[in-house]
Every structure is written in structure tokens, then in C-alpha cells.
Structure 1
Amino acid sequence: MKHFLIYTIKILIVVLLTAIALDGLYTYIFLQSENRGKIETVFNSEQQNYDVIILGSSRANNHFVSQMFEDKGLKTFNYGMSGGHLFEASLMLKLMIERKYTIKNVILEADLNLSNDHESEGISAKFLPYIHNSAVIKNHFETEKNFNELYYIPFYRYVKYDGKIGFRETYKIVTGEKTNALDNLGYYPLIKHKNGNMKNNIHNLNPLKRNKYYEEIKNICKANSINFIAVMTPMCENVVGMNYFDKVKKAYPEIHNYENVVVENKYFSSCGHMTDAGAKMFTTRILKDFFYK
């Protein structure tokens, strides 16, 4: 029995040391990544100066044409993240402030995601390689129920989110494989698809009376003298439950409602995402209303 216990302890020690070594190796690799995605690009960057930063979900990523801002002399980057929630948008802005970014304007796509204050696991996982290297990331995750496992158990986060930050991703970083996340100044243009989903029902969707992460973004902008522009972006003409946007306006009167600026189905790739042509129409209106009145 004694020999068995000693053998078991030795195995546990080997497993622990291996986990610590792998954790250190993976983290080191992520600390060298600068061209795979938006999160690691910001984390591994130095001070930047921007006239306009765009934050939000895919409805920001696909709707704000960064080059059109640039053409007007406004240094701009679209940090919208497909699948992301306000949890990740707030953390992205916090990272920029931690990295001493100077930002004049933040445009936040704030509409459908006001209905929840949850993290998007697929996107938030991409912040986790840096949880021991950033007080901002650590503090942001501290209220999550699995924080202790993610923070204190070596290599646990890489195993749990292997599909996002596991071996395959580290291999691609090491080999220098790029993605299209940083193309077009962060904007991702869409085309019209014959089989695009042109039906959407948001009748049962309701904005939270106070979305924690929306308030965080608003307060960060105020504390850093950043002009905060929150907008609702368009949806196609046959959405059921469009009174959701009226509910948002009632709960958050400072958010500008642009859901009906572009409505024709021909300008949408799917009911919640405009094509490149629709995005250009929308961006033209945003530039006119907020930057060149």
C-alpha cells in the first residue's frame, strides 16, 4: 500500500509539472502572436492613437466600413467580433486603455446583445492565454463561476477551450499562419447569398434594464474623455418583433436607433447582417450624422 501511494504521488507530481510546463509554453507562444486575431493584436501591441474605434458583435464587424472613415481622414479600426457579446466588447476596451491607447471616439453596436450580460465562451476564451499577464483580464473574469479553475489550475484553460486556444491554434501561431480578421481594417464584408436566412423573430427578446457591460463601456469612455456613440444597427424588412428596438430606446434613451436606415432585403446577407452594399449605405449615414454634419 505504501509503495502504491508513493507511486501515485510521483505520477501526480509528474502530471502537475507537465501541466505547468505546457501552460508556460502555450502562454509564451500566445505572447508572440500579433497577426492571428483582434484580441492578441491588441494585447501584444503598444500605444496606439485612433480617431474611431468600433466595438460590438458581428453586427458591428459586418456593418461599419472602416475604410470609409479613413477616407475622411479618421484613423479607424473595427474591433467588432463575430459571436461576441458586450462582455468581450467591454474587456477589449479595457485592454486598449491598459495599453495606453488614445481614442477620440468609440462607436458601440448596442442592440440585440443588451438582452444579456453573459460571456460568449467562444470569444472570451481567446483572452484566457493572458489571464496571468493582465490585471484587467484577471479582474474581468473574477466574477465568472469557473474563474478559480481557469486561473489556478495549470493548463486547464487550454484543455477546456482546446478548440479555440489549444494545440491547433498554437501550431498556427508558430507557423505564422494568418487569418482575415485584421483585413479591411477589421471590417468583414458580406455578399448576398441565395440561401441566406431572411427570417428572424425577436418578439420575445427584451433588453436588460441595466446591462453591466454596456454601463462599463459608457463609464470607461467618460473616465477617459472618449466620445461615446452607441447605435442600433439595421435588420431586414421582415423581422418579427421589431418593437424590441423601441424597448431599447426606452431603457437606454442615449442609444441612437438606426434599425430602419436600411431595410430592403436586397441589402442583407441574412436578416441581421447587411451585405457590403448595405454596410456602405449605413456607414455613409453614420459619417454624416456624427462626423460631418
Structure 2
Amino acid sequence: MKRFLIYLVKILFVTIFIAVVLDGLYTAIFMQSKNRGKIEAVINSKAKNYDVVILGSSRANNHFVSQMFEDKGLKTFNYGMSGGHLFEASLMLKLMIERKYEIKNVILEADLNLSNDKESDGVSAKFLPYIHNSEVIKDHFLSQENFNQLYYIPFYRYVKYDSKIGFREIYNITKGESTNALDNQGYYPLAKHKNGNMKNNILNLKPLPHNKYYEEIKSICKANNINFIAVMTPMCENVVGMNYFDKVKKAYPEIHNYENVVIENKYFSSCGHMTDAGAKIFTARILKDFFNK
């Protein structure tokens, strides 16, 4: 029995040792990554200067044409992330401030995601390789239910989120494989698809009266003298429950409502995402209203 217990202790020790080594190795590789996505591009960057930084979900990523801002002489990057929530948008801005970015204007796509203050597992996982290297990331995740497992158990986060930050991603980083996430100053143009979903029902969606991460973004901008512009972006003409945007305006009167600037289905790839043509119409309106010199 004693031998068996000693054997178990040895197995446990070896397992912990391997987990610690792998955790350190994976983290070291992620700390060298700069061309795989927007999160690591910020984390592994030095101070930058921007006239305009765009934050939000795919409805930011696909709706704000960065080059049109650049053509107006405004240094711009679209940090919108497909699938992201305000949890991740707030953390991105915190990381930029931590890295001494100088930002004049933040445009936040704030509409559908005001209905929740949860993290997006698929997107938030991409911050986790750096949780021991950034107090900002650690503090941001501190209130999450699984923080202790993510922070204190070596290699746990890489196993749990293997599809996002596991072996395949490590392999791609070591090979120097890039993605298109950083192309077009972060803007991702969409085409019209014959089978695009042109129906959407947001009837049961309700904005939170006080969205924690929206308020964080607003406070960060105020503290750092950044002009904060929050907008609602367009949806197609088939949407059921468009009074959601009126509810947002009532709860957050400072948010500018642009949901009806583009409504024709021909300008949408899916009901919540405009094509490149629609995005250009929308961006032109934003430039006219906020950056007309």
C-alpha cells in the first residue's frame, strides 16, 4: 500500500511538472505572436498613436471602413472582434492604455451587446495566455467564476480552450502563419451571399439598465481625455423587434442611433451585417457627422 501511494505521488509530481513546463512553453510562444490576431497584436505592441480606435463585435468589425477614415487623414484601426462582447472590448481598451497608446477618439459599437455583461468564451480565451503577464487581464477576469482554475492550475486554460489557444495555434505561431485579422486596418469587408440569413428576431432582447463594461469603457475614455462616440449600427429591413434600439436610446441617451441609416437588404450580407457597399455608406455618414473638417 505504501509503495502504491509513493507511486501515485510520483505520478502526480510528474504530471504537475509537465503541466508547468508546457504552460511556460506555450506562454513564451504566445508572447512572441504579433500577426495572428488583434488581441496579441495589442498585447505584444509598444505605444501607438491613433486618431480613431474602433471597438465592438463583428458589427464593428464589418461596418467601419478604416481606410475611409485614413483617407480623411485620421490614423485609424478597427479592433472590432467577431463574436466579441463588451467584456472583451473593455479589456482591449484597458490593454491599450496599459501600453501607453495615445488615442483621440474611440468609436464603440454599442447596441445588441448591451443586453448582456458576460464574456464571450471564444474571444475571451485568446486573452488567457497572458493572464500571468498582465495585471490588467488578471483583474478583468478576477470576477469570473472559473478564475481560480484559469489562474492557478498550470496548463488548465490551454486544455480547456484547446480549439482557440491549444496546440494548433501554437503550431501556427511557430510557423509564422498570419491571418487576415489585421488586414485593411482591422476592417473585414463582407460580400453579398445568396444564402445569407436575412431574417432576425430581437423581440425578446432587452438592454441592461447598467451595463458594467459599457460604463467601464466610458469611464476609461473620460479618465484619459479620449472623445467617446457610442453608436448603434444598421440592421436589415426584415428585423422583428426593432424597438430594441428605442429601448437602448432611452437607457443610454448618449448613444447615437444609426440603425436606420442603411436598411435595404441589398446592402446586407446577413441581417445584422452589412456588405462592403453598405459599410461604406454607413462609414461616410459617421465621418460626415463626427469628423467633418
TM-score, normalised via structure 1 length: 1.00
- Residue 223 of structure 1 is matched in structure 2 by 223
Q: State the 1:73 CA deviation.
A: 0.2
Task: For 1:195 and 1:7, locate their aligned partners in 2 and report how far apart those are by CA, in whole Å.
Answer: 59
- Residue 159 of structure 1 is matched in structure 2 by 159
- Residue 26 of structure 1 is matched in structure 2 by 26
Task: For 1:6 and 1:242, locate their aligned partners in 2 and report how far apart those are by CA, in whole Å.
Answer: 65
- Residue 119 of structure 2 is matched in structure 1 by 119
- Residue 101 of structure 1 is matched in structure 2 by 101
Q: Give the match's secondary structure for 1:133.
A: coil
Aligned partner letter, 2:281: M
Matches of residues 265-284 of structure 1 in structure 2 within 5 Å?
265-284=265-284
- Residue 254 of structure 1 is matched in structure 2 by 254
Query: Are 2:145 and 1:145 equivalent residues in the alignment?
Result: yes
Q: Give the match's secondary structure for 2:54.
A: strand
Task: For 2:7 and 2:274, locate their aligned partners in 1 and report how far apart those are by CA, in whole Å.
Answer: 61
Task: For 2:167 and 2:192, locate their aligned partners in 1 and report how far apart those are by CA, in whole Å.
Answer: 35
Task: For 2:88 and 2:271, locate their aligned partners in 1 and report how far apart those are by CA, in whole Å.
Answer: 23
Aligned partner letter, 1:96: M
Aligned partner letter, 2:18: T
Give the count of matched residue pairs. Answer: 293
Structure 1 stretches lacking a partner, 5+ long: none
- Residue 8 of structure 1 is matched in structure 2 by 8
Q: State the 1:139 CA deviation.
A: 0.0
Q: Give the match's secondary structure for 2:181.
A: coil
Task: For 2:17 and 2:194, locate their aligned partners in 1 and report how far apart those are by CA, in whole Å.
Answer: 53
Task: For 2:291 and 2:69, locate their aligned partners in 1 and report how far apart those are by CA, in whole Å.
Answer: 9
- Residue 56 of structure 1 is matched in structure 2 by 56
Task: For 1:168 and 1:267, locate their aligned partners in 2 and report how far apart those are by CA, in whole Å.
Answer: 36
Matched-pair identity in %: 84
- Residue 70 of structure 1 is matched in structure 2 by 70
- Residue 35 of structure 1 is matched in structure 2 by 35
Task: For 2:263 and 2:122, locate their aligned partners in 1 and report how far apart those are by CA, in whole Å.
Answer: 30
Q: State the 1:162 CA deviation.
A: 0.2
Task: For 1:48 and 1:212, locate their aligned partners in 2 and report how far apart those are by CA, in whole Å.
Answer: 27
Aligned partner letter, 2:233: T
Task: For 1:37 and 1:195, locate their aligned partners in 2 and report how far apart those are by CA, in whole Å.
Answer: 28
Q: Give the match's secondary structure for 2:177.
A: coil
Task: For 1:254 and 1:223, locate their aligned partners in 2 and report how far apart those are by CA, in whole Å.
Answer: 17
Task: For 1:192 and 1:271, locate their aligned partners in 2 and report how far apart those are by CA, in whole Å.
Answer: 11
Q: State the 1:238 CA deviation.
A: 1.1
Task: For 2:103 and 2:269, locate their aligned partners in 1 and report how far apart those are by CA, in whole Å.
Answer: 31
Q: Give the match's secondary structure for 2:169.
A: helix
Task: For 2:11 and 2:265, locate their aligned partners in 1 and report how far apart those are by CA, in whole Å.
Answer: 61
- Residue 234 of structure 1 is matched in structure 2 by 234
Task: For 1:41 and 1:187, locate their aligned partners in 2 and report how far apart those are by CA, in whole Å.
Answer: 15
Structure 2 stretches lacking a partner, 5+ long: none
Q: Give the match's secondary structure for 1:52.
A: strand
Task: For 2:269 and 2:250, locate their aligned partners in 1 and report how far apart those are by CA, in whole Å.
Answer: 29
Aligned partner letter, 2:153: I
Task: For 1:161 and 1:201, locate their aligned partners in 2 and report how far apart those are by CA, in whole Å.
Answer: 30
- Residue 192 of structure 2 is matched in structure 1 by 192
Q: Deviations over 1:113-166 (max 9, x none)?
A: 000000000000000000000000000000000000000000000000000000
Q: Give the match's secondary structure for 1:231.
A: strand
Q: State the 1:220 CA deviation.
A: 0.1
Q: Give the match's secondary structure for 2:282.
A: helix
Q: Give the match's secondary structure for 1:230.
A: strand
Q: State the 1:231 CA deviation.
A: 0.0
Aligned partner letter, 2:214: Y
Aligned partner letter, 1:100: K
Aligned partner letter, 1:17: F
Task: For 1:192 and 1:9, locate their aligned partners in 2 and report how far apart those are by CA, in whole Å.
Answer: 60
